[in-house]
Structure 1
Amino acid sequence: MQLVALTAPDGHRERWDIKTAYLTLLSWHSYFKDTDNAKEPTKIANQIGKFVGDDIKQVHMYLVYLDGFNGDLYSKLSLLAHNSNKSTVQLYFVMKSIGNSDYLRHNKEQEPERQQLINRIKQVTNNDQETLRRLTELTKLFIDGQLHYSNLEG
């Protein structure tokens, strides 16, 4: 069983099962997403709220972080990042362009190289659009600088 350590602003720490934390965060996130129509959060959702706060962007960041453990997304991202001469930012934009009909080719000479990367991404994600979406979202956390330990401490 994988555990995640949560730290409250007052320094109180607890270890939670990743699946329980993920499902609880999902509930907490949905509560903030539609507070007008949402029912009161559960006791466990209120409990996780003490650790992650009530900023929906912060809650979403934790949700994406924990979702990375489902389906081994961190390993998939590592495979793509380490077996490529592209930066993580370039990798992110190529992932965003897959399936996007509005993508404009900027340099025709680089298209074969881009196509090789697309093929590699499709191979790593088993050409599954949902896995690609989740992987793209996880990659964005790295690019935005949100995914580093100082942000995850509490």
Structure 2
Amino acid sequence: MGGFTSIVPMAASVLQTGQRISADQANTQSRINQGEAARKADLAEIEAREREDAAQRAEDLRRRQATIRARQGASGLMAGGSGSASAVLAGYEKAARQDGDLAADATARRRTRINQQAAWREKSLLRSSQDDTVARLNAWFSKRDGWG
């Protein structure tokens, strides 16, 4: 039957192979956890950047509106041109909404890309771990049966 003539070397070999497999699985899980932490950090960074950009857009809109209202107050009262200022204000608001929508779409794409990459890395790590486990078990059985 092969290379193992007593139970002691076989038991030692089984124990050693099991320990290697267990260590590899623990290492894989640790790498998966690190990847998950990195994914969460990237998503948190995107959220913070999105809030900062939204606040900046709101501040820019507020400044533009204040400038138009000040100009309207200075010149519009005498000329009666309040309609054009209202149209400009509405245009600024519409542009700010469109910029916000574009930024939200870009942020959603970045989130999706980060999540897809993290899922791919996790799947790849799990497949590598499974392949390594199968290879170790095949090597052990080959050695046991005297083939290797």
Whether the TM-score (by the shorter chain) exceeds 0.5 is: no
- The TM-score, its normalising length taken from structure 1, stands at 0.23
| Higher Rg of the two aligned structures | 2
Higher relative contact order, structure no. (Cα contacts within 8 Å, ≥ 6 residues apart): 2
Which of the pair is proportionally richer in strand?
1
Which of the pair is proportionally richer in helix?
2
